[in-house]
Amino acid sequence: MGWLSYSSDLGYLVAAALFIVGLKYLGSPRTAPRGNQLGAIGMLIAVVVTLLRMSGAEGGLIGLPLILIGLVVGGAIGAFMAKKVEMTGMPEMVGLFNGFGGGASALVALAEIVRARDAFGAGRAEGLGPTVFVLAIGASSLIGWVTLTGSLVAVLKLNGTMRKNIFLPGQNLLKAVLLLACIACTVGLIYTPGNLLLITALVLAAAMLGVLFVIPIGGADMPVVVSFLNSLSGCAASATGFVVGNNALIISGALVGAAGLILTGIMCKAMNRKFADVVFKAYGATGSTDTGEKRTVQGYEAEEAALAFDGARTVIIVPGYGMAVSQAQHVVRELADELERRGSEVRFAIHPVAGRMPGHMNVLLAEANVPYEQLFELDDINSSFSECDVALVVGANDTVNPAAHTDPDGPLGGMPVLDVEKARTVMIVKRSLSPGYAGVDNDLFYRPSTMMLFGDGKKKLTDLLGAVKEL
């Protein structure tokens, strides 16, 4: 067994190295496809090494039929889902995969402690190995089940099944109690590792914690939640590494955990919200801050609006979640092409939290064949709005709300926003005047330089495209 153990450890090292280089390559558009392939190769190596190691160990691959079933069934389902999913369904898909990763780690921890019941008997976990084993199981269960149930709730919110953001009084207190319960169960398991009641309580408390964690959060805070769950799925894998004593899991899990945390930080910064506020003070649930003041605004027809593009030198298109909802990305691209053909310079301004996951708009526009050089980040394009003839806002609201500057103490105060108000003409395609996720009315809609086009994004833009072609 000796040489097999050492050489399999080296195999895991190769897998981990491939993950590291793969993640590095994922950071640049040119190398990203290669990075993804390297990651997949690393995973294949890790699986093969594990099978070889088990076949050479005492007892051999006794569970081979079961293992083959698991590998084939899981692989087939994964491949099917990946092939079938529409690009507009990507946030749900990423959320679901996050959850499955966390769930897998939690199930491994559960399997290991159930298996160890025979060895522990009625005794306690004595010595370093068993103690670390139980502690790691506690961590892996807590993080893993939270990731699974939290992600499932997030998926229900992302696909619109769960529309309400539920924030009960005492919800934060209940979350604290559940967290403490998980810790107490873990400590209890050190003394009686075979205690089925404690094991069950740990699973249930963690699963409930995950649900309570995500149900109050919704809408524009979703990118924060999705990236945080991504981080947790890595942390769960890392904790499972301590359960089964495998450095490949510890390394890869930690890399993913760190990556997810960085994304979470970027998303929070883009909303000018503290992470703790997103989790504990979800404002999606507080409702809108209606001032009572009723203002009316006139909607424009596509033909009138199209005139604004006549002779426009620069056009900046600002997509938001509404573009994803109405699946308007293709007609947006057609409009952009038409405007370019007529001599306008067309750029896209992408707010970091536009949509429901990090990079959501970029994926949709890539699907519609918009080259990524045409997409600009907030910091790079914000100064260009003052020289821009038409800013076309498609289904975005909070990310272009001037209240971020004018009302520093309001819910949007201090959030970095796209300064579309500086454009000569602002054209906004939107279903209604309803406030965005933050519940703040948007002054932009009422300004004289603004043209509102009310209706479904895809339909309105198709009309607009037709009208522009007629010019």
Catalytic residue numbers? 398
**Helix and strand totals (H; E) in the chain:** 17, 6
Least separation in angstroms between residue 195's CB and another protein is 13
Task: Establish if 97 lies at the interface with another protein (CB under 8 A).
Answer: yes
Task: Establish if 71 lies at the interface with another protein (CB under 8 A).
Answer: yes
Task: Establish if 19 lies at the interface with another protein (CB under 8 A).
Answer: yes
Decide: 302 and 464 in contact? Cβ < 8 Å: yes
Phi, psi of 123 (to 5 degrees): -80, 180
Nearer to another protein, 351 or 430 (CB): 351
Supply 221's token pair. Answer: 């805070």
Nearer to another protein, 54 or 452 (CB): 54
Supply 421's token pair. Answer: 């108000």
Report helix, strand or coil for 366.
helix
CA distance 220 to 224: 8
Least separation in angstroms between residue 440's CB and another protein is 24
Nearer to another protein, 43 or 184 (CB): 43
Taking CB under 8 A as the criterion, the residue among 250, 324, 440, 464 binding another protein is 250
CA distance 32 to 41: 14
Interaxial angle between packed helices 90-120 and 360-367, expressed in degrees from 0 to 180 and rounded to the nearest 10: 120
Taking CB under 8 A as the criterion, the residue among 4, 14, 17, 107 binding another protein is 107
- Binding residues for another protein, rule CB under 8 A, total 120
Taking CB under 8 A as the criterion, the residue among 6, 7, 10, 75 binding another protein is 75
Taking CB under 8 A as the criterion, the residue among 10, 62, 187, 197 binding another protein is 62
For residue 415, give the H/E element and its range. Answer: none
Count the helix, strand and coil residues of the chain and give each as a percent rounded to the nearest 5.
65, 5, 25
Q: Which of residues 360-389 bind another protein (CB under 8 A)?
A: 360, 362-363, 366-367, 369, 371-375, 377
Q: Which of residues 338-357 bind another protein (CB under 8 A)?
A: 350, 352, 357
Decide: 289 and 319 in contact? Cβ < 8 Å: no
Nearer to another protein, 114 or 176 (CB): 114
Determine the interface stretch with another protein among 20-28, 163-171, 212-220, 273-281 (rule: CB under 8 A).
20-28
Nearer to another protein, 127 or 292 (CB): 127
Nearer to another protein, 119 or 180 (CB): 119
Least separation in angstroms between residue 319's CB and another protein is 13
Task: Establish if 105 lies at the interface with another protein (CB under 8 A).
Answer: yes
Taking CB under 8 A as the criterion, the residue among 166, 204, 254, 325 binding another protein is 254
Residue 447 CB contacts under 8 Å (≥ 6 apart), including other chains: 421, 426
Interaxial angle between packed helices 196-214 and 128-158, expressed in degrees from 0 to 180 and rounded to the nearest 10: 30
Decide: 397 and 442 in contact? Cβ < 8 Å: yes
Supply 296's token pair. Answer: 């009316």
Task: Establish if 79 lies at the interface with another protein (CB under 8 A).
Answer: yes
| Dihedral of alpha carbons 271, 277, 280, 282, sign | negative
Task: Establish if 47 lies at the interface with another protein (CB under 8 A).
Answer: yes
Least separation in angstroms between residue 333's CB and another protein is 12
Decide: 236 and 242 in contact? Cβ < 8 Å: no
Supply 152's token pair. Answer: 């499932």
Nearest alpha-carbon partner for 381 in 407, 355, 399: 399
CA distance 326 to 324: 6
Least separation in angstroms between residue 44's CB and another protein is 9
Taking CB under 8 A as the criterion, the residue among 14, 175, 327, 359 binding another protein is 359
Binding mask 131-170 for another protein (x = CB under 8 A): -xx-------------------------------------
Taking CB under 8 A as the criterion, the residue among 206, 215, 237, 404 binding another protein is 237
Q: Which residues pair with 428 in a beta bridge?
A: 393, 452
Nearer to another protein, 349 or 428 (CB): 349
Decide: 287 and 219 in contact? Cβ < 8 Å: no
Determine the interface stretch with another protein among 90-98, 309-317, 413-421, 428-436 (rule: CB under 8 A).
90-98
Least separation in angstroms between residue 124's CB and another protein is 14
Taking CB under 8 A as the criterion, the residue among 10, 77, 173, 197 binding another protein is 77
Task: Establish if 52 lies at the interface with another protein (CB under 8 A).
Answer: no
Put the strands of the sheet holding 345-350 in their side by side order: 375-377, 345-350, 314-319, 390-394, 425-430, 450-454
Q: Which of residues 194-233 bind another protein (CB under 8 A)?
A: 226-227, 230, 233
